[in-house]
Chains A and B, each alone.
Chain A
Amino acid sequence: MMQRFSPIMPFRYWLDISYKTGELPDMKNAIWENIFKRGNEARSETATALRNVPVFADFSKRELREVERIVHHRDFKAGEIIFRQGDPGLGMYIIIQGDVQIVNNENPDNPIIYSELTDGDFFGDLALVDDASRSATALSSGETRLISFFRPELQDIITRFPAIGNKVLMNLAKVIASRLRKTNDYLSAAQKAQSGDEN
């Protein structure tokens, strides 16, 4: 498979050859190798996590790279609050690793757990569209690593790369449309059940 050219490629090639020929026996494990690796690993981890989300699922490598540049990485400890119910909504989170509970704690004595999310799941995506208050609290239930993609970043992408921005918006609209259809199905099922009970 053809590899895309990058400025460090000749150097890496030289490093690999030198290592194989025994000229530089210790260089393979030296700090240089780590620098190249660390960047690629972090990128691939973010790219993989982004690809799991329907909003970015059909993105090309180049498009993903632009998104990767502006997302934020956060580490949360167990029990730490990611956002509170009632806070202004700002955007979505994608779980790279860990567990998150979505909780309604209107009644602090009797919190209702809406959902328990884990690696690859995402939440808060509706906040990309408007700044309505968060409808629930997101709580980290273990050591959790997240990526956040917020409305200002989406607006930034729309301004600089309208084609990518449109793709995000279209995918977001598809997610919302699919949820709306499901809600309609639930509603009509509930209405049918209710009318059946009345008869």
Chain B
Amino acid sequence: MTSTQILRYLLKSAQIIIPLLVVVALWSHIAPILLLLVIALLLTSILGPVADWLEMHLGGSRIAAVLSIYGAIILLVVGLVSTLGPILLDEARSMGQAVSGEGDSDLSGALKKSLLDIVPENYHETVEAKLTEWVAGSGQFLQSLLKDLAGMIGKLIGVIMNIVLVLVFTFILLLESRNFKVAFVRSVPNAYFEMTLNLLDKVQAQVSGYLRGQGIAAASVGVLSTIGLYMVSWIMDVNIPYAFIIGMLAGIANLIPFIGPFVGMVPAIIAYVVTDQGPAGISAMVPLAIVGMFLFVQMIDNFLISPKIMSSNVGMHPLLVMVVIMVGNSIMGPLGMLFAVPAFGVVRATITEIIWGLRAYRIL
């Protein structure tokens, strides 16, 4: 090996090693930005097909398509905040007061009273003890959730900055995704060129389909549950408060398979049981109707909505769901529980496609 060859080899190695060392040395600073970039990439994979569709209808102008999406998002957020915001805030405030017993209605007290009315007298002590334990437990859960939220509000400026950064990253990615893809693929060695392109395309399609499907399913379940609760109230002529907030909760909880449906069902029944229903009193038929309504919504989701919108079979074993949720809880608390399953779904779809690619191109 001549000295020129050695020098060339060292220079080539330095091209890889130096940037790697810089990344390792600055990891603590780079990691948060990388996380924002990953979120922006996920958002881009959801909004990309919308931008393509708009581009087709706007005479091939990408910038007009992306600006239209941002305009629509701003309008949607302003519209939702101004119309549904007050209802949501009102329900949340009155629910919070009811749970803590500060407001006009004492949720835990009313629940205790309702249960003691039904249960025979010799079980009253056990029921009271269990209820106190349950209220304390749920109070702790609510406290930790509130602490999470309070922490987030405390870092409001940071959160807003991050949201702005994600939106800026997403804007650039939506606008330049094709150029980035071409530039990235250019750096891939010839031997892996086709495989990389094939994988990029398949992973993007899977992740985008999965996230869009989850989003549409959650929104549909939320809207259907809210309408369903209003319909049960109207048909059976009873008062089920917080229908809107419970419906939205059911929609968001739909991200968690198996457990999600109960997250809407249980608070709706509790809200009905503890609310003064006037002279008619509490009827056993209403909780049954609520359960029936949520099951019906789940049936619509499982048999009509999800099969149409989910790009792939993302069925997960219940045990796996439990483990993933517990891991999510230990990493990020209650918020982690909520996003653990979708995050796992994204990672799984990516890994499945990578394994397919490595096998199809006989690398594995």
A residues with a Cβ closer than 8 A to B are 66, 69-70, 72-74, 76, 80-84, 86-88, 90, 148, 150-152, 156, 159-162
Within 8 A of A (CB), among B141-194: 178, 182, 185-186, 190-191, 193-194
From 317 to 364 in chain B, residues with beta carbon under 8 angstroms from any chain A beta carbon are: 360-362
Point out the residue from A69, A83, A86, A159 that lies within 8 Å of B178, measured CB to CB: A69
CB-CB < 8 A to A82: which residues of B?
190
Contact yes or no, B361 A161, CB < 8 A? no
Is B133 positioned at the interface, with any CB of A under 8 Å from its CB?
Answer: no
CB closest chain-A residue, reference B49 = A159
Which of B11-19, B51-59, B114-122, B305-313 is the interface stretch? B51-59
Contacts of A148 in B (CB 8 A): 193
A88 to B201, CA, bound (A): 13
Q: A70-B178, A72-B182, A88-B361 are in contact. Are A161 and B201 (CB under 8 A)?
A: no
Question: In B183-220, which residues have CB < 8 Å from any A CB?
Answer: 185-186, 190-191, 193-194, 197-198, 200-201
A81-B197 in contact given A70-B178, A72-B182, A161-B56 (Cβ < 8 Å): no
> Which of A72, A88, A160, A162 gathers most chain B CB within 10 Å?
A160
* B190–A159 touching, CB < 8 Å: no
**Are A90's CB and B194's CB within 8 A?**
yes
The digit string for B276-317, where 1 denotes a CB below 8 A from any CB of A, is: 000000000000000000000000000000000000000000
Is B60 part of the binding interface, using a Cβ–Cβ cutoff of 8 Å? yes
Residues of A within 8 A of B191 (CB): 81
B53: nearest chain-A partner, CB-CB: A159
Q: Pick the contact of A160: B52, B182, B193, B194 (CB < 8 A).
A: B52
Chain B minimum-CB-distance residue to A81 = B191
Residues of A within 8 A of B200 (CB): 152
- 21 A-B pairs whose Cβ atoms sit less than 8 Å apart in the complex: A66-B60, A72-B193, A72-B197, A76-B190, A80-B190, A81-B191, A84-B361, A84-B362, A87-B360, A87-B362, A88-B361, A90-B197, A148-B193, A151-B201, A156-B52, A156-B178, A159-B49, A159-B52, A159-B53, A159-B56, A160-B56
Q: Given contacts A74-B193, A83-B194, A160-B60, could you give 8 more A-B pairs where the C-beta distance is less than 8 Å?
A: A70-B182, A72-B197, A74-B190, A76-B190, A81-B191, A87-B362, A152-B200, A159-B56
Question: What does DSSP make chain B's interface, helix, strand, loop or mixed?
Answer: helix
Residues in B with CB closer than 8 Å to A66 are 60
B56 near A162: Cβ-Cβ < 8 Å = yes
Please report the C-alpha to C-alpha distance between residue A80 and residue B201 in the assembled complex, in whole angstroms: 24
Q: Which residue of B lies closest to A124 (CB)?
A: B194
Distance in Å from the Cβ of A72 to the closest Cβ of chain B? 6
Q: How far is the CA of A140 from the CA of B190 in the complex (A)?
A: 11
Option from A70, A73, A90, A161 in Cβ contact (under 8 Å) with B60: A161
Mark contacts of B33-53 with chain A using CB atoms, 8 A cut-off: 1 yes-contact digit, 0 otherwise: 000000000000000010011
What is the bound-complex CA distance between A69 and B197, given in angstroms?
A: 16
Across the interface, which residues of B come within 8 angstroms of A90, CB to CB? 194, 197-198
- Whole-angstrom distance between the Cβ of A81 and the nearest chain B Cβ: 7
Q: Kindly state the separation between the CA atoms of A88 and B197 in the bound complex, as whole angstroms.
A: 12
Chain A residue contacts of B194, Cβ below 8 A: 83, 87, 90, 150
- CB atoms of B185 and A72 under 8 A apart: yes
Complex CA–CA separation, A159 to B51 (angstroms): 10
Which chain B residues lie closer than 8 Å to A76 at the CB level? 190
With a CB–CB cut-off of 8 A, which chain B residues contact A80?
190
**Docked-complex contact A150 and B197, CB < 8 angstroms:** yes
Report the minimal beta-carbon distance from B5 to chain A, rounded to whole angstroms: 18
Task: Kindly list chain B residues whose C-beta atoms are within 8 Å of the C-beta of A83.
Answer: 194
**CB–CB A152/B197 < 8 A:** yes
- Find chain A residues with CB under 8 A from B201 CB: 151-152
B residues within 8 A CB of A88?
Answer: 198, 360-361
State the Cβ distance, A94 to closest chain B Cβ, in Å. Answer: 15
How near does chain B come to A69, taking the closest CB pair, in angstroms?
A: 7
Q: Within 8 Å CB of B360, what residues of A?
A: 87-88
B174 to chain A, nearest CB (A): 13
- CB of B182 within 8 A of CB of A86, answer no
- Report the minimum CB–CB distance from B9 to chain A (whole Å): 18
Q: Is B190 touching A87 in the complex (CB atoms < 8 A)?
A: no
Which residue of chain B has its CB nearest to the CB of A155?
B201
Query: Roughly how many angstroms separate A134 CA and B120 CA in the complex, as a whole number?
Result: 76
| B52, B60, B198, B200: residue with the most chain A Cβ atoms closer than 10 Å | B198
Give min CB distance, A68 to chain B, whole Å. 11
Chain B, residue nearest A151 (CB): B201
Q: Please indicate which of the listed interface residues B182, B185, B190 has the most CB atoms of chain A within 10 Å of its own CB.
A: B190
Give the docked Cα–Cα distance between A73 and B255 (Å).
42
CB < 8 Å: which of B53, B186, B362 contacts A72? Answer: B186
**Bound CA span A70–B60, Å:** 14
Report the minimum CB–CB distance from B125 to chain A (whole Å).
Answer: 67
Closest to A134 in B: B194
